[in-house]
Structures are given as C-alpha cells and as structure tokens.
C-alpha cells in the first residue's frame, strides 16, 4: 500500500470552553498535497494543533484516524511515531539542548532501543539536509531554536521534517515572515519530500507559497468549518479577489472564531 491516510470526521474542538472548530471533515492520502486557506482567526491553526494533540485544545466530538488507528487516543509522541508531523508556527526555544541532540533523540525514539542511529550516519544525514536547505552548519550545535531568526526557525522545522520522514505532515503557516529566498528554500524542502508515501497539509493565508508548492486540493476555512473545496485555481482566485466573494456566496457575516496572533 502506498502511503497513509489521515481522516478527520466532524471534528469539534474547544479551547478553554469556547468552541473553535465546528465540524471539520478532511481526508489526506499519501501522495497528496492539500492547502487550507482562510483569513486570520478562522480555526486553521486550531485544526493543526488538535491533530498533533496540543495540551490546550480539547476535542469535544468527532474523530481523527491515521490508517484506521484512533489518533485521539494517542499521546503526542505516539502520534509522531505513528507518522504525523507538525511544522509549527511558533516553534519552542529550548535552552541548553542542541539542535543535533534533539534531532538524534527524535530519530532514536522512532527507531527504538537497540536500533539507535550511529553518530556518524546521523551527522552525515544532518549535514546533507542542512546543506540542501542552505543552513549554516553551526546551527547543529546551537541550542534548539534559541536566538534563531524567524526564517531560521522555519528552515529548522523543514530540516526536522526531512530528517524524520513522516507519512503525513502539517505545515502551519510555514511561510509567515519569510522573505522570498527563504520561501524558495522551504518550498524546495517540501517538494523534495513529495512522493506517494508522503501526504501534506499546508496551512496558509497566502497564495504566494502555493506558487512554489503546487497543491492538489485547496480548502477554504471560515467560522471553524471548511466551507469551500477546489483545486489550485481556487487559490489563484482567492489571491486575485480575496475572501469576500466566498462570504457573500455562502452568506457568512463574521468568518472568525478566535483571536489568532
């Protein structure tokens, strides 16, 4: 069987008692690239956090399965080892833990005890991917995300993606705050991952990223639901005309459900 399948059914999610997602349905298969677009505060990041299991988000009903396994019953680390990956909008900074030590722990956690990656092999892989992403090799020995610029953090997320080789990845606003060169590098990383074994969900406000990573499916999120589905042409129309026509078409007055940073 080529690739995995992530199925989200009628997902409702609340944060501190307030309902943010009001029934999301989505299916992502290996080999597919999906993009979720939408204005700020419509629930896009909540969806990605809920899939990964962020402690602040509470799933009140609905289901998420990965190849038939119940994702919602898994701990965060189990979700990752099952094949999910989330490139975060705001990656944590962790003082005292080097990027390399962190990544090696993450790889070894997948491989299991007795099957750890050799240090040499790890260093070779990491150097190779860092060069591919045009990252300074010193960043391997810097503390995880500490003092990294916005662009460096995003590249570092893609580095992790490439090193960990997940089955399904979610990229949460990976393009925000990136200049055009960084955007190209990040896109290059994602495109390198493209294969029948890799499914991807890109969350973004802007069409810009989709010029470099062509999606197979485009979804629009408003008011905690996916309100429109289409192909790459939908993203282009949104770029040209904005979101108002959808609101008008669907009779949505206020598309927001939350305060997003």
Burial 64-103 (b: 16+ CB within 10 A, else e): bebbeeebeebeeeebbbbbbbbbbbebeeeeeebbbebb
Among 17, 68, 96, 251, binds another protein (CB under 8 A): 96
Among 52, 126, 221, 257, binds another protein (CB under 8 A): 52
Least distance (Å) between residue 56 CB and another protein: 8
Least distance (Å) between residue 81 CB and another protein: 5
- Both tokens of residue 91? 């990656």
Among 2, 16, 18, 55, binds another protein (CB under 8 A): 55
Binding flag, residue 59, another protein (CB under 8 A): no
What pairing do the DSSP bridges indicate for beta strands 84-87 and 168-172? Answer: parallel
Of the pair 108, 236, the CB lying nearest another protein is at 108
Binding mask 104-123 for another protein (x = CB under 8 A): -xx--xx-------------
Among 61, 94, 136, 244, binds another protein (CB under 8 A): 94
Query: Site size for another protein, by CB under 8 A?
Result: 30
Least distance (Å) between residue 111 CB and another protein: 10
Binding flag, residue 53, another protein (CB under 8 A): yes
Q: Site residues (CB under 8 A) for another protein? A: 52-55, 75-77, 79-81, 85-86, 88, 91-92, 94-97, 101-103, 105-106, 109-110, 143-144, 160, 164
């Amino acid at each position: 069987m080529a690739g995995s399948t992530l199925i989200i059914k009628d997902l409702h999610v609340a944060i501190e008692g307030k309902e943010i997602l009001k029934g999301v349905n989505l299916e992502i298969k290996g080999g597919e690239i999906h993009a979720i677009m939408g204005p700020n505060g419509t629930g896009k990041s909540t969806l990605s956090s809920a899939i990964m299991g962020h402690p602040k988000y509470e799933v009140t009903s609905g289901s998420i399965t990965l190849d038939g396994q119940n994702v919602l019953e898994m701990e965060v680390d189990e979700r990752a080892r099952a094949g999910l990956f989330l490139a975060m909008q705001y990656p944590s900074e962790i003082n005292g833990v080097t990027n390399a030590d962190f990544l090696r722990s993450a790889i070894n956690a997948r491989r299991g005890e007795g099957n750890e990656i050799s240090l040499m092999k790890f260093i070779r892989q990491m150097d190779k991917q860092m060069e591919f992403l045009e990252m300074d090799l010193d960043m391997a020995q810097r503390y995880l995300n500490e003092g990294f610029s916005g662009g460096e953090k995003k590249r570092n997320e893609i580095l992790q993606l490439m090193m960990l080789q997940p089955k399904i990845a979610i990229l949460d606003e990976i393009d925000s705050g990136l200049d055009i060169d960084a955007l190209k590098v990040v896109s290059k990383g994602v495109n390198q991952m493209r294969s029948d074994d890799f499914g991807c969900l890109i969350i973004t406000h802007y069409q810009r990223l989709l010029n470099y990573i062509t999606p197979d499916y485009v979804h629009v999120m408003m008011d905690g639901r996916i309100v429109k589905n289409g192909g790459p042409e939908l993203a282009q129309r949104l770029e040209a005309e904005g979101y108002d026509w959808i609101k008008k078409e669907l009779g949505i007055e206020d598309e927001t459900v939350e305060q997003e940073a």
